[in-house]
A and B are shown apart, each in its own frame.
Chain A
Amino acid sequence: NAGVTQTPKFQVLKTGQSMTLQCAQDMNHEYMSWYRQDPGMGLRLIHYSVGAGITDQGEVPNGYNVSRSTTEDFPLRLLSAAPSQTSVYFCASSYETSTDTQYFGPGTRLTVL
Chain B
Amino acid sequence: SQQGEEDPQALSIQEGENATMNCSYKTSINNLQWYRQNSGRGLVHLILIRSNEREKHSGRLRVTLDTSKKSSSLLITASRAADTASYFCATEGSGNTGKLIFGQGTTLQVKP
Contact = CB atoms under 8 A, between A and B. Distances in A.
Interface of A: 4, 33, 35, 40-45, 48, 50, 56, 58-59, 90, 92, 97-99, 101-107
Interface stretch (B38-46, B52-60, B62-70, B77-85): B38-46
Interface residues of B, number: 26
A34 to B, nearest CB: 12
A48 B104 CA distance: 19
B104 A101 contact: no
Nearest to B31: A99
A97 B42 CA distance: 19
Interface of B: 1-2, 30-31, 33, 35, 40-45, 48, 88, 90, 92, 96-105
Nearest to A6: B42
Contacts of A45: 99-102
12 contacts: A42-B103, A42-B104, A43-B88, A45-B101, A48-B100, A90-B42, A98-B98, A99-B48, A101-B33, A102-B35, A102-B100, A104-B42
A85 B72 CA distance: 32
Kindly name the residue among A33, A35, A98, A101 whose own CB sees the greatest number of chain B CB atoms within 10 A: A98
B98 A90 contact: no
Given A48-B98, A104-B43, A42 B105 contact: yes
Contacts of B92: 98-99
A98 B102 CA distance: 12
Contacts of A58: 99
Contacts of B1: 59
A10 to B, nearest CB: 12
A105 B7 CA distance: 26
A102 B33 contact: yes
Given A104-B43, A105-B42, A106-B41, A40 B104 contact: yes
Contacts of A33: 100
A105 to B, nearest CB: 6
Contacts of A40: 104
